[in-house]
Amino acid sequence: MQQVYELKKEATEIRLLQLTDMHLFSDPQAKLLGVNTQVSFQAVLDEVMAEPQPHFDAVLATGDLIQDSQVEGYDYFAQMVQPLASPVFWLEGNHDEQPQMHMKLASYPYICAEKQILAGKHWQILLLNSQVSGCPSGYLSKEQLIWLDAKLTEHTERFCLIALHHNLLPTHCAWLDQHCLQNTEHLAEVLAPFKQIKAILHGHIHQTVDSNWHGIRVLSTPSTCIQFKPNCDEFTLDLLAPGWRELVLKADGQIETVVKRLKTQTFLPNLEAKGY
């Protein structure tokens, strides 16, 4: 595992931007189910940077940065997020390619490979790899769980935000729920002794979630491109606009968070699609 990243050591609160499931292609003109993912991602970034308070202390990119297994998408991602002027942390999704992802992103100094972030005076952020090569579902390896336990033990005095790609809770979509994290019970066993965990953040399901799992808040965030319609057993796209999540980690352990979407929905998917 990589070394720890110390983020704004004296800060009492931390502002985060979560971007997830960009599904970028090597061809900038390529579309995913009718949506040009590079154009929709740029539209999201433009709206983020146009906000009254556009600066974030860090950006969390929670997987599926690319769609077509071609590494050029990582260059597009890196170049597009540079104007945010914040350190960008990433983790793997099921569509990402390793070790190419690490090698490509390592060439950009503002993109950080560290998975343990000591954020301000009061928080620790831990990024987990739930990717299973060649498989859409997720799994946390024994090594990941041992590392997680060690880092939680190391900083019991800090509130903790955990991030991974795959969902823990069912979405009530039969086609999607088969691709969730497959060993949630192992994760629950590791987390049970620790009281400082305030939330688990993920992507993967292209939906908004703010729920509870074993007493821990669980947050999921829309994709920057297409959205999956909730409560549909068969593959169904939604008409909701691309989105992102903003979070503020407070000194008292509270998390203020909001999901935002593009003000105008100009990225209409092919609703006849039966999968991707």
165 is in an annotated binding site: yes
- Report the alpha-carbon distance of residue 274 to residue 206 in Å, rounded: 16
122 is in an annotated binding site: no
* Residue labelled with tokens 């509270």: 254
Instruction: Please give the structure tokens belonging to residue 197.
Output: 């965990």
- Report the alpha-carbon distance of residue 261 to residue 139 in Å, rounded: 30
55 is in an annotated binding site: no
212 is in an annotated binding site: no
Q: What's the one-letter identity of residue 173?
A: C
206 is in an annotated binding site: yes
36 is in an annotated binding site: no
Beta strands in the chain (DSSP E): 4-7, 14-19, 31-32, 35-36, 58-61, 88-90, 111-112, 116-119, 123-127, 131-132, 135-138, 159-163, 197-202, 209-213, 216-220, 227-228, 237-238, 243-249, 255-261
94 is in an annotated binding site: yes
SS3 call for 260: strand
Annotated binding-site members for Fe cation: 21, 23, 64, 94, 165, 204, 206
Annotated binding-site members for AMP: 23, 64, 94-95, 206
Annotated binding-site members: 21, 23, 64, 94-95, 165, 204, 206
